[in-house]
């Protein structure tokens, strides 16, 4: 394809894996429309920001970045804001940053080709802002995948859970699933292209409902894992409400399914979970944990926790700490509560002071570090298959990851250089709170 030298773009991505994969699809769409991606804003005629609004002050970061680049407008460059902040702020972005020409929410990416035509025609205000009632998914064969060995497949978009603190249902629309046939067809194409690891994505990935009614989520997991050439299948993020025993059975039965589940709990207090509108109790969550602990195959369990939700007492926080001790997570992502636009939690009183949120987060993370030190001891002397992801030249160590999603860096025998994307056996010889170290065996 001959590229127009004036059709160059620079894309910067903020936020979650969904955003990263959305950007891969946006990049592929732009390339299919005759654009060429460039590594710097100076080389670009079109500068795009794929934004995230899950945390506080995300909008300010976007507008500060746009203000920094306003001076580039004199060079004839055009600007676009994509993703969650675009959907959340809408046409207000044009008012606050008049040099922006395009605002496109994540539910409207399928309209990008038509929007680009309008930009090229000189239209100064091009919008794509579908409301949350849209039924369309963003499917494209032009995905520009950034990793040659591991790739993402979005199987469900949007969210219908309306957790009190979360802006996602308002920025990404209602839940809408792709057909199992289209997901499997994409997995087959990826395997043919040399990909060996696939990660299925969704805001609530296990809330998947096949519009054709052919496969449940667990059946889709197994089917993707059985595609010839695929060695590992992961999925994220699961919602406890829709997490069924059939998912555990699938992991037990299909070796290609990674033995790792990320199951966000957010709080160990049923009272706080109710205020958060999480749709389950502490006891119901622990029931799902027990299903995994009873599995024939050891499953690594990770989670998300929010501290300082409005009304969270010290007693509630202690319940969260006791949950960590009871579950013994392999990893925890902890966050301070931050108010988000349009969310029900804005109406709640009894705000926790920021310094108290910070204290609780520090206590939580230190407790989890100690749990991980103890948990990781069990891996000493164990042999695991590791996917090679890179090399730390300064240390002479290879960087790898296990099926349980644990970082396992290792030394290779003299004269042996495992290829990136290959799978090699490694015996763990040392443990750290957030990673393992070992020796490759041949």
pLDDT tens track for 374-411: 999 999 999 999 999 999 999 999 999 999 999 999 99
Cis peptide before 337 (omega within 30 of 0): no
Read off the pLDDT of each residue in 340-347 and give the average, rounded to a whole number.
91
Mean pLDDT over each residue of the chain, to the nearest integer: 93
Helix (H, G, I), strand (E, B) or coil at 399: strand
Whether the per-residue pLDDT at 56 is higher than 90: the answer is no
Q: Are 386 and 410 in contact (CB under 8 A)?
A: yes
| pLDDT score for 389 | 96
Sign of CA dihedral 69, 70, 76, 80: positive
Which is more confidently placed, 262 or 341?
262
Give the chain's length: 442
List domains and CATH numbers for the chain.
8-128 (3.40.50.12160), 147-258 (3.30.750.210), 290-378 (3.30.750.200), 380-440 (2.40.50.140)
CA–CA distance, 267 with 177 (Å, rounded to integer): 28
Closest CA to 385 of 352, 422, 359: 422
For 83-141, what is each residue's pLDDT tens digit? 999 999 999 999 999 999 999 998 888 889 999 999 999 898 999 887 667 777 777 77
Decide the pairing of beta strands 100-104 and 78-83. parallel
Q: For the sheet with 126-128, list strands across it.
A: 36-37, 8-13, 46-51, 78-83, 100-104, 126-128
pTM score: 0.89
Say which range, 172-176, 365-369, 419-423, has the weakest mean pLDDT. Answer: 172-176
Q: Which residue has the tokens 């060695």?
A: 231
Give per-residue pLDDT as tens, 251-263. Answer: 999 999 999 999 9
Q: Are 422 and 388 in contact (CB under 8 A)?
A: yes
Report helix, strand or coil for 171: helix
pLDDT at 39 over 50: yes
- Number of Cβ within 10 Å of residue 243's Cβ equals 24
| Tens digit of each residue's pLDDT (9 = 90 or more) over 184-239 | 999 999 999 999 999 999 999 999 999 999 999 999 999 999 999 999 999 999 99
Checking 290-299 for CB contacts under 8 A at 24+ apart, the result is: 291/245, 291/248, 292/248, 292/261, 295/248, 295/251, 295/252, 296/252, 297/251, 297/252, 297/259, 298/259, 298/404, 299/248, 299/251, 299/259, 299/260, 299/261, 299/404
Q: Which of 49-58, 141-150, 174-183 has the highest mean pLDDT?
A: 174-183
Choose the most confident range, by mean pLDDT, from 73-77, 311-315, 345-349: 311-315
Please name the residue ranges forming H helices in 12-51: 17-32
Kindly state the average pLDDT of the residues 149-168: 94
How confident is the model at residue 5, as a pLDDT? 67
How many Å apart are CA 372 and CA 324, to the nearest integer? 11
Interval 40-58 mean pLDDT:
88
Residue 1 has pLDDT above 50, yes or no: no
């Amino acid at each position: 394809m001959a590229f127009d030298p004036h059709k160059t773009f620079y894309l910067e991505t903020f936020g979650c894996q969904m955003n990263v994969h959305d950007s891969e699809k946006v990049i592929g769409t732009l390339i299919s429309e005759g654009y060429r991606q460039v590594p710097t804003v100076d080389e670009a005629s079109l500068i795009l920001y794929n934004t995230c609004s899950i945390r506080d002050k995300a909008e300010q970061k976007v507008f500060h970045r746009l203000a920094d680049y306003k001076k580039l407008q004199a060079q004839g460059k055009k600007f676009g804001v994509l993703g969650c902040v675009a959907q959340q702020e809408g046409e207000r972005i044009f008012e606050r940053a008049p040099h922006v020409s395009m605002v496109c929410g994540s539910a409207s990416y399928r309209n990008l080709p038509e929007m680009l035509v309008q930009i090229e025609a000189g239209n100064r205000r091009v919008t794509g802002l579908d409301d949350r009632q849209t039924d369309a998914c963003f499917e494209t064969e032009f995905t520009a995948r950034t990793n040659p060995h591991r790739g993402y497949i979005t199987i469900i978009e949007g969210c219908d859970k309306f957790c009190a603190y979360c802006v996602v249902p308002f920025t990404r629309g209602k839940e809408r699933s792709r057909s199992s046939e289209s997901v499997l067809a994409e997995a087959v194409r990826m395997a043919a292209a040399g990909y060996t690891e696939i990660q299925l994505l969704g805001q609530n990935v296990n809330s998947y409902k096949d519009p054709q009614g052919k496969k449940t989520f667990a059946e889709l997991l197994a089917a993707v894992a059985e595609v010839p050439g695929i060695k590992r299948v992961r999925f994220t993020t699961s919602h406890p409400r829709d997490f069924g025993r059939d998912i555990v059975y699938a992991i037990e039965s299909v070796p290609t399914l990674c033995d790792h589940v990320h199951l966000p709990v957010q709080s160990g207090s049923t009272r706080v979970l109710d205020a958060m509108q999480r749709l389950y109790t502490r006891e119901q969550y622990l029931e799902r944990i027990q299903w995994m602990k009873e599995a024939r195959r050891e499953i690594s369990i990770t989670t998300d926790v929010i501290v300082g939700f409005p009304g969270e007492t010290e007693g509630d926080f202690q319940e969260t700490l006791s949950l960590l001790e009871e579950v013994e997570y392999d990893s925890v992502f902890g966050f301070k509560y931050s108010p988000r636009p349009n969310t029900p939690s804005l109406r709640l009183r009894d705000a926790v002071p920021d310094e108290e949120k910070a204290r609780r987060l520090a206590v939580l993370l230190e407790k989890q570090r100690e749990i991980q030190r103890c948990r990781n001891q069990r891996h000493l002397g164990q042999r695991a298959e590791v996917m090679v992801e890179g090399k730390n030249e300064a240390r002479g160590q290879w960087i790898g990851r296990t099926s349980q999603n644990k970082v396992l860096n290792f030394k290779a025998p003299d004269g042996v250089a495992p290829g990136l994307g290959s799978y090699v056996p490694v015996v763990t010889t040392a443990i750290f709170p957030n990673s393992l170290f070992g020796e490759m065996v041949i």
